[in-house]
Amino acid sequence: MCAVHTHTYFSTRNSYTPHTPPQHTQLEAAGGEHRIQRDRVEPAIAHVAAVGKELGLNKVTPAFIPGAFNGALTTDVRQIEQADDTTNLGRLTFNQFKPTDTKVQLGQFTGGSYAPRAETGLPDLYRGPFEGMPQGYCLFTHFRVVEDGKSPDDCLHGVMTAIAEYDVPGGDKPAAMTIKFRRLRLQPTPSVAQNQERLNHWLHLFKTHNPSMNDAGVGEVELPANGPVGTIEYLLMDENEQVHVGNMGSCMIMKRWSPPAGSLGAALVEACKQ
């Protein structure tokens, strides 16, 4: 059993101290699951919400926003096969990239020995300066293209980046953050982009179906002005661990992450310090 848990906090008058929670407060994921039905962890979510409220951590704190984060657990199971984290390209990209029925497997480890995040150094979530946006909000989803007869290591690997801007309304909504999605980017990982044979296969699968894709295999689609807008509410936000609920009801635990030195992710984090 792999227990994925939030910290509980024991408050003093002016501070709080992380403490490993007892068994009943943990958000547990049997067998290493990180995508789980919400009703299986509802009591633990309620407990986290109560702790956040008690300690005044159920609000957005600007100093805790910038940086790179990885997801430890999510209750979002919409259109995702929980057994192996598979979906299709249409669902992954709001139907903006084709062929929409291309089967993809999500996650840092997509089977086999290859770990795409280790190659790219990109986190699941980045908040901070990004391509001219002071309040950038980027979701990086690593995936592999599932093809019959190919092992996970031999399959093509890519990254779908949902590029957005965040806003903190404040006022009577201290726990809220709104996310306005601006564009989507689909691209191969470096091990595909830098191998001509693998890149050619990527282009064969996607370039003819996606006019925005260039010869490097990178495609980008601008979303309409009235495009997707999300709202998340923080049950608990501290510097290193954050728990929020989305407007569709899914709960997610995010933990701050330090990308490998010299990676794309490390460059993003450095931008937050400038």
pLDDT digits (tens, 9 = 90+) for 115-166: 777 788 899 899 999 999 999 999 998 999 999 988 888 899 999 999 999 9
Cβ atoms within 10 Å, residue 24: 9
Give the mean model confidence (pLDDT) for residues 47-74.
92
Q: Which residue has the higher pLDDT, 267 or 14?
A: 267
Give pLDDT, residue 226: 85
Q: How far apart are CA 238 and CA 63, in angstroms?
A: 9
User: 106, 142 in Cβ contact below 8 A?
Assistant: yes
Q: How far apart are CA 81 and CA 207, in angstroms?
A: 27
Q: Give per-residue pLDDT as tens, 223-245.
A: 998 888 999 999 999 999 999 99
Q: Cα–Cα distance between 181 and 185 in angstroms, integer?
A: 12
CB atoms within 10 A of CB 274: 6
- Percent of the chain scoring above 70 in pLDDT: 82
Kindly state the helix (H) or strand (E) to which residue 52 belongs, with its residue range: helix 42-55
pLDDT at site 255: 92
Residue 237 phi, psi (nearest 5): -135, 115
Cα–Cα distance for residue pair 22/42, rounded to 1 Å: 16
SS3 of residue 15 by DSSP: coil
| Ramachandran category for residue 31: left, alpha or beta (phi over 0 → left; psi -120 to 50 → alpha) | left
Q: For residues 126 and 109, what is the distance between their CA atoms, to the nearest angstrom?
A: 19
Report domain extents, the chain.
57-272
